[in-house]
Amino acid sequence: MANRNKPLSAEAYRWKQAGAALSRHVDWRNWPQSKQVEYMFSFGSPHALYEALGVDSALAQLYAACVANCTGPEQGSVMGALRALAAKRTGLLHRPELALNVAALASRYARRVREVADWKPRSNNVFRQLASLVRHLFDRYGNAPDWLIESWTRPTLAEDGVSLPDLTLHLGQGHSLRSFPRLPVPISKRLEHGMREAPAGCTFREALRYAQLAARNALDWWGVVMESRLGRAALVDDAFWLSVVDFFVAAPMVDPCHFGPVCDWIHQKRSVGIGPEPAQPGFTLRGRGMASVLAQAEQWHRGQARGHRQSGGAGPADSSWPGLPVNDFRAGPVRIEQLTTSAQLQDEGNAQRNCVATYLQSCRLGRCGIFSLTVDGTRGLTIEVTANRTVVQVRGKYNRWMTPQEHAWLIQWLSQARLVLSKHVGIDWQE
């Protein structure tokens, strides 16, 4: 009886009040957004909120992204941002996939140049609403590149060590891109102009490559470059790899499909070594001819396949992995199946005359997945899918590009498996 009359602690009292509110309003999702935000901040602890709402609810995920790790002063700014958004009755607060994006906006809300109240959404699409709101809040002069504003709608808000939200605020205040303090490579005035002119939908790396190629009058090579190691790997030793681009651009009548395989051969030569030769970090193409380079690259690719055949397809003890969570595809005689053992990778490389077996470690670590497209059991394409569910490489035998018919099959698979096809993947429309 004594415990029954014991006064409740402040935290226990808040828990009781929250539980009582939940019992009175079974479905808080029917409340106005402003009331939902108030309710979210009424809990005494994150644990109490997750207990009441469920960790998978939209409001709980919004709280986890925006509030859970904030200090007291930061929470005040975040609360102001969320209240302002709630007053506009947008769908942004109800989309868990945008919770981290809304959090990035709310955490920088104090640095806004305009008020949310003055913003008028012109679309019901929440991704367009977010891009419009970012420009309204942070782009004082309205000249931030479209690709940078649109980057706020993607799952990843940092690329190559660059915080895209911070870069947006930097440019939005009228500062130059080249003066941003955390760029992975130096940016000249000419490159900055090219990056500002890069098409909407670009990533930071794509915009940089676009500017670098524009400065060389070589924009026709943009797709080929982005499909190669220069588009997939981090920005390291940029000056050298741009010299490889210059080498190809200057060569007459060279098929662009050779660029990616040559880059793989150069990477092997510089960082690993070929055969008994040690790695040659200082290797360059200076003084070499295109025919010689293509021959050596082809010889290395063939040697890779021959070495795998001689080893009998034997891999290391840990020769299999779970693979990416991507569904295979079947449509009549067409199959697209993920390769999840070292033997399968080696067989694919032997049949397709490519170096896909060198992706063994990346596949094991979950950085990418390799898929094989077959028709009536005959291999047609080797496909690379990154961990963020983007198809970045599609090549046939001897590194040819896919045909329009193969492209049609691939599109069916993308739709079913919910994948994205990189705009830089090559298609041979003349087939």
Q: Which two tokens stand for residue 39?
A: 């309710």
Choose between 254 and 110: higher pLDDT. 110
The confidence score (pLDDT) of residue 12 equals 60
Amino acid at 167: L
Contact by Cβ (8 Å): 368, 362? yes
Report the alpha-carbon distance of residue 250 to residue 408 in Å, rounded: 34
Q: What is the mean pLDDT of the segment spanning 255-281?
A: 89
**Looking at the predicted structure, is the pLDDT value of residue 144 above 70?**
yes
Alpha-carbon distances, residue 316 vs 157, 282, 341 (angstroms) = 37, 31, 10
Q: What is the mean pLDDT of the segment spanning 68-87?
A: 83
pLDDT band at residue 317 using 50, 70 and 90 as cut-offs: very low
Q: What is the mean pLDDT of the segment spanning 250-264?
A: 83
User: In this predicted model, what pLDDT tens digit does every residue of 205-217 receive, in sequence order?
Assistant: 999 999 999 999 9
Q: Which two tokens stand for residue 279?
A: 């790695």
The confidence score (pLDDT) of residue 315 equals 47
pLDDT band at residue 11 using 50, 70 and 90 as cut-offs: low
Task: Please enumerate in sequence order all residues whose Cβ is within 8 A of that of 71, keeping only pairs 6 or more positions apart, or say none.
Answer: none
Contact by Cβ (8 Å): 204, 158? no
Mean pLDDT, the chain, rounded, equals 85
The confidence score (pLDDT) of residue 64 equals 85
pLDDT band at residue 38 using 50, 70 and 90 as cut-offs: confident
Instruction: Give the residue carrying structure tokens 């990778």.
Output: 345
Choose between 241 and 54: higher pLDDT. 241
What is the distance between the terminal CA atoms of the chain, rounded to a whole angstrom? 87
User: In this predicted model, what pLDDT tens digit does every residue of 275-312 receive, in sequence order?
Assistant: 888 999 999 999 998 888 988 988 887 777 666 555 55
Q: What is the mean pLDDT of the segment spanning 320-347?
A: 92
Least confident of 46-60, 177-191, 310-324, 375-389: 310-324
The confidence score (pLDDT) of residue 1 equals 46
Report the alpha-carbon distance of residue 157 to residue 62 in Å, rounded: 17
Report the alpha-carbon distance of residue 79 to residue 103 in Å, rounded: 11
Choose between 149 and 11: higher pLDDT. 149
Instruction: Let me know how long the chain is.
Output: 431
Report the alpha-carbon distance of residue 151 to residue 167 in Å, rounded: 11
Choose between 239 and 6: higher pLDDT. 239
**Looking at the predicted structure, is the pLDDT value of residue 179 above 80?**
yes
Choose between 319 and 221: higher pLDDT. 221
The confidence score (pLDDT) of residue 338 equals 96
Least confident of 72-76, 198-202, 331-335, 392-396: 72-76
**Looking at the predicted structure, is the pLDDT value of residue 130 above 70?**
yes
Using H for helix, E for strand and C for coil, what is the string for the chain? CCCCCCCCCHHHHHHHHHHHHHHHCCCHHHCCHHHHHHHHCCCCCHHHHHHHHCCCCHHHHHHHHHCCCCCHHHHHHHHHHHHHHHHHCCCHHHCHHHHHHHHHHHHCHHHCCCCHHHCCCCCCCHHHHHHHHHHHHHCCCCCCCHHHHHHHHCCCCEECCEEHHHHHHHHHCCCCHHHCCCCCCCCCHHHHHHHHCCCCCCCHHHHHHHHHHHCCCCHHHHHHHHHCHHHHCCCCCHHHHHHHHHHHHHCCCCCHHHHHHHHHHHHHHHHCCCCCCCCCCCCCCCCCCHHHHHHHHHHHHHHHHHHHHHCCCCCCCCCECCCCCCCCEEECCEEEEEECEHHHHHHHHHHHCCCHHHHHHHHHCCCEEEEEEEECCEEEEEEEEECCCEEEEEECHHHCCECHHHHHHHHHHHHHHCCEECCCCCECCCC
How much of the chain exceeds pLDDT 70, in percent?
89
The confidence score (pLDDT) of residue 314 equals 46
Q: What is the mean pLDDT of the segment spanning 354-358?
A: 74
**Looking at the predicted structure, is the pLDDT value of residue 423 above 70?**
yes
**Looking at the predicted structure, is the pLDDT value of residue 159 above 80?**
yes
Report the alpha-carbon distance of residue 32 to residue 425 in Å, rounded: 45
**Looking at the predicted structure, is the pLDDT value of residue 70 above 80?**
no
The confidence score (pLDDT) of residue 26 equals 46
